[in-house]
Amino acid sequence: MRQLSDTDRTPRLGRVFPDSNYTTEEIAQRKAEREALMQRCDAIFEGVTSNLIDEFYDWFMVIEPESGDYFIDEDEDLAVQKAHEKYPTNACVIYCINETGACCRV
């Protein structure tokens, strides 16, 4: 068997996906869009949580901010599936129905 030396290796340069380089403006725009989405969803979550927290504590809620619709299920995957069936192309945000809205602990 032949031994590989350092001269046999070709250095790999660049990114894995060189076509997906974003400018700082594009990154800032995406961040602003994500923050706006979260603000709209947070407002909806805060508005309905007090009515749902007793009956659905620790269930999952997926919110579609454009319509204000939300989908609740005990299983996270089913809640996401319900939202995706009705709004297949819209961005949604998932919450856990509790005091903080966080889905898990770190």
Dig out the tokens for 36 from the structure.
């706006």
pLDDT at 80 over 80: yes
- Asked if residues 59 and 73 have their Cβ atoms less than 8 Å apart, the reply is yes
pLDDT above 60 (res 106): no
At residue 100 the predicted structure's pLDDT band, cuts being 50, 70 and 90, is confident
Whole-angstrom distance, CA of residue 70 vs CA of residue 40: 12
The whole-chain average pLDDT of the chain stands at 85
Rounded to two decimals, the pTM is 0.74
| DSSP assignment letter at 11 | P
